[in-house]
A and B are shown apart, each in its own frame.
Chain A
């Protein structure tokens, strides 16, 4: 197995090998595949950078601690469910009067107009109902497939499509409005 290139293995194959105790290389490969996504999700879903980092660590620790509980299925969905739960718990535990500096959105876009537009778009996304905004974020920010989103959110595939469609419709209108204003 070790002779085989790890990058050719599926997430599930890697994780099952890791559970069996075949070596840390399997875990490392999974971590390298998804740490960026998990981190970005935490940054988006947590209130502060510190909280995001804390949630990021908690997620990976939980993966290791609960590896025996992985019953197969989609690994990335399981990973993201744990990430999501950690971020939700952290938000719930936060007192309403807590002061914080909100995480900033980082854009590598050199175009100032586009940068401003992206910021405004983020505001519009956050204005959407939670179930719609979450689907948009998972699809476009994290690049998950419909199937993965349905696994992560625990809803049917068709509902994911419907929600995404509704969200995009609302955002298209908002974006057009913003363009006209500019």
Chain B
């Protein structure tokens, strides 16, 4: 047995009685061996003292984890998801709160307007619902029929939902006043009240539009073509609803020119149809017919969409 092996066995406590005697003999007779053993003893002493000692704070933490592990049912499956539920729960609570507050806000606006003119609201609410339904149908069609990849589809859907459910709804809500009062004059029996409503709603609508314009800038910066087109389309429809026909048409034309390159007839037809409806509402029958024809031409091979647009035009 060599010296190193002997030392190792000594520190491991594996020496036999004969080996132990050999070791002690060597220790007494050989000073360099003795100093080597002393160095090992010294090292062991320091190593043993250097181990990490748990502080009181550490011990508290370890106990707390033990408590959590045992209290929260560590013997059951799915423990992980229940042990770390905070993020998921907070997210769910946040979503529920947002939905509830949106409903409350919407009902508040509706009820406030109801008090002003119940009869006008009834008719306008119906119109608003029809518009929402139409827009919703369009959005579903977009997501179902687009040739782009599924990722883009989901982005479109999200964007559509966002715009449709928040912005258009708000604009519709803000437009809960008679058409004649939407004009600049605002003359009516209760002119003063309606004048205030018009001003208030104008501010709200312009905030929504500013938000969308800002988003458009960001999408342009990010070169996100799909989102640019969708935002332009929404802006066009919203501007037109707010009687800013020229800007609305401008936005829709831009969206159309971008969609043209996509070669998707259904999407192109949708934009052309919107343009036609705006011209029709603004009384420009020639242009309305022109765009109407373009829209329908594109849908010759799409009977379902063709009939949808025919219905919308006939309304």
Instruction: For B55, list chain A residues within 8 Å (CB).
Output: 106
Known pairs A24-B75, A140-B44; A107 contacts B65 (CB<8 A): no
B16 nearest CB across to chain A (Å): 18
97-150 of chain A: CB within 8 A of chain B:
105-109, 114, 117-118, 121-122, 136, 140-143, 146
Give how many B residues have a beta carbon under 8 Å from the other chain's beta carbons.
31
Beta-carbon contact of A121 and B47 below 8 Å: yes
A128 to B58, CA, bound (A): 28
Is B40 an interface residue, CB under 8 A from the partner? yes
Residue contact A142 to B66, C-beta cutoff 8 Å = no
Q: Which of A3-11, A53-61, A76-84, A87-95 contacts B (4 or more CB under 8 A)?
A: A53-61
Q: In whole Å, how far is A111's beta carbon from the nearest beta carbon of chain B?
A: 9
A106-B74 contact given A39-B62, A61-B79, CB 8 Å threshold? no
Contact B43 A175 (CB under 8 A): yes
- Of A24, A40, A117, A140, which contacts B54 at CB under 8 A? A40
Q: Please measure, in the bound complex, the distance between the C-alpha atom of A79 and the C-alpha atom of B39, giving whole angstroms.
A: 34
Contact A114 B65 (CB under 8 A): no
A162 nearest in chain B by CB position = B8
Contacts of A53 in B (CB 8 A): 61
Closest to A24 in B: B70
Q: Report chain A residues within 8 Å CB of B52.
A: 40, 43-44, 105-106, 141
The CA-CA distance from A56 to B12 in the complex, in Å, is 30
Let me know if B223 is at the binding interface, CB within 8 A. Answer: no
Q: Produce 1/0 per residue, B54-71, CB < 8 A to A.
A: 110010011001100110
Distance, CA A69 to CA B58, complexed state (A): 29
Q: State how many residues of chain A have any CB contact under 8 Å with chain B.
A: 43
Cβ-based interface call for B53 (8 A): yes
Q: Which of A31, A40, A165 contacts B8, CB < 8 Å?
A: A165
Task: Name B40's contact: one of A28, A44, A172 (CB within 8 Å).
Answer: A172
Interface SS of chain B: helix, strand, loop or mixed? Answer: helix
Q: How far is the CB of B100 from chain A (nearest CB, A)?
A: 34
Nearest neighbor of B5 in chain A, beta-carbon distance? A165
Chain B stretch 28-55: residues in CB contact (< 8 A) with chain A: 36, 39-40, 42-44, 46-55
Query: Of all chain B residues, which has the CB nearest A171?
Result: B43
Whether A154 sits at the interface, judged by CB under 8 Å, is no
Contacts of A122 in B (CB 8 A): 50
Residue of A28, A53, A140 with highest tally of chain B CB at under 10 A: A140
Are B50 and A107 in contact (CB-based, < 8 A)?
yes
30 CB < 8 A contacts A-B: A28-B70, A31-B69, A35-B65, A35-B66, A39-B61, A43-B52, A56-B65, A60-B65, A60-B69, A61-B69, A64-B69, A105-B52, A107-B49, A109-B49, A114-B46, A117-B46, A118-B49, A122-B50, A136-B47, A140-B47, A140-B51, A141-B52, A146-B12, A165-B4, A165-B8, A168-B43, A172-B36, A175-B39, A175-B42, A176-B39
Which 10 pairs of residues, A with B, have the shortest CB-CB distance? A140-B47, A40-B52, A141-B51, A118-B50, A172-B39, A64-B74, A35-B62, A106-B53, A121-B46, A172-B43
Kindly list 16 other residue pairs between chains A and B, CB separation below 8 angstroms, not including A109-B49, A118-B49, A121-B47. A27-B70, A36-B62, A40-B52, A56-B62, A107-B50, A108-B49, A121-B46, A121-B50, A122-B50, A140-B44, A140-B47, A140-B50, A140-B51, A141-B50, A165-B4, A165-B8
